Structures are given as C-alpha cells and as structure tokens.
Amino acid sequence: MADILSLETVEVQAHVSSKEEAITRAGERLVRAGCVEKDYVKGMLARELTMSTFIGNGVSIPHGEFGDLQLVNRTGISVLQVPEGVEWEEGNIAYLVVGIAAVGDEHIKVLQNLAEVVEDESIAEMLAHTTDAQVIVDHLNKPVEEEE
C-alpha cells in the first residue's frame, strides 16, 4: 500500500490569510489527489465551526464530519505548512495544517507520528520551517516505534 501522505499532498511555504483559507487549501490537496470529493472540504469547514481542530504546538488537524464519510474515496493526509502561521483561535497559531480523510484506521500511523510533533517542540519547529516537502513526508510516514 502506498503511503497516505505524499509530495502530492504537501505544500510548503504557504501564505494564507485565515484558518478557513488554510482548511480549504489543505482540503483541495486531498481533492486533487483523488482522496475525497469536492464537497468534503465543506465538511472540513463545517466541523471547524462546531469544534476546533487545533491540537497544540502549532498543529491543527481539520477533517470532515461523520456525515462526510461517503465523500472519502480513499484514506489520505495533506499538510499545508504556513511558516508565518495562521491564527486558529485566539492565542493559538497553526504552522502545520494537517488535513485528514480516513477510511478505516489506515491513518493511525501518521497520527501517531503527528503526536510526536505535537509533543516535541523542536520537531514541530523544524517541520514548520523546512523548505523541503520531502522532510515532512519522511517524518510523518516513518515507521512507528513499537513500545516494549
């Protein structure tokens, strides 16, 4: 199975003026990759109105609502990197906007790697400012270390 995050779904050095624009751009990457239908992006925006997807340390994870699952063609993750940040909610700035469209639990590995980014400020900083999309892809697709 191919990785669910690829260079096709990552955009570095993005400039956005609002979280709505950031969500839309992250969603459009999923649409272009064939992961979701266009209306899934509307679901991502609607979800944000009911519950913030900001998870900390400069990372947000916009995704559709439960009713949008029929709009998901295949699991995919997109990353919109915004080096100067975008205000997500008062006091919280997002530098990595990680769009999620999931069928089953195929996205769990990427989310586990993303949890490390949220916990480790130095990794978050590095991913927020790299100019190489491959660095983001490699970091989020790396095998998850098994706990003993």
Tokens representing 79? 């990353």
One digit per residue, the tens of pLDDT, for the chain of length 148 reads: 356 889 999 999 999 999 999 999 999 999 999 999 999 999 999 999 999 999 999 999 999 988 888 999 998 999 999 999 999 999 999 999 999 998 877 667 767 777 877 788 898 899 999 999 999 998 888 765 544 3
- 58 Rama sector, left if φ>0, alpha if ψ -120 to 50, beta otherwise: left
The answer to whether residue 146 sits within a structural domain is no
The answer to whether residue 111 sits within a structural domain is yes
The answer to whether residue 147 sits within a structural domain is no
Note the pTM of the prediction, 2 decimals: 0.90
**Catalytic residue numbers, as ranges:** 63
End-to-end CA distance of the chain: 26
Q: How many domains does the chain have?
A: 1
63 burial via Cβ count (<10 Å: 0-12, 13-18, 19+):
buried
Q: Cα separation of 36 and 70, whole Å? A: 9
The answer to whether residue 11 sits within a structural domain is yes
Q: Cα separation of 143 and 148, whole Å? A: 15
Please report the pLDDT score of residue 2 as a whole number.
Answer: 52
The answer to whether residue 2 sits within a structural domain is no
Q: Are 60 and 19 in contact (CB under 8 A)?
A: yes
CATH code assigned at 45: 3.40.930.10
The string of DSSP letters for 7-65 reads: GGGEE-S---SSHHHHHHHHHHHHHHTTSB-THHHHHHHHHHHHS--EEETTEE--B--
The answer to whether residue 92 sits within a structural domain is yes
Coil vs helix vs strand at 116:
helix
27 burial via Cβ count (<10 Å: 0-12, 13-18, 19+):
buried
In terms of residue numbers, what domain contains 118?
7-141
Please report the pLDDT score of residue 146 as a whole number.
Answer: 43
The answer to whether residue 126 sits within a structural domain is yes
The answer to whether residue 1 sits within a structural domain is no
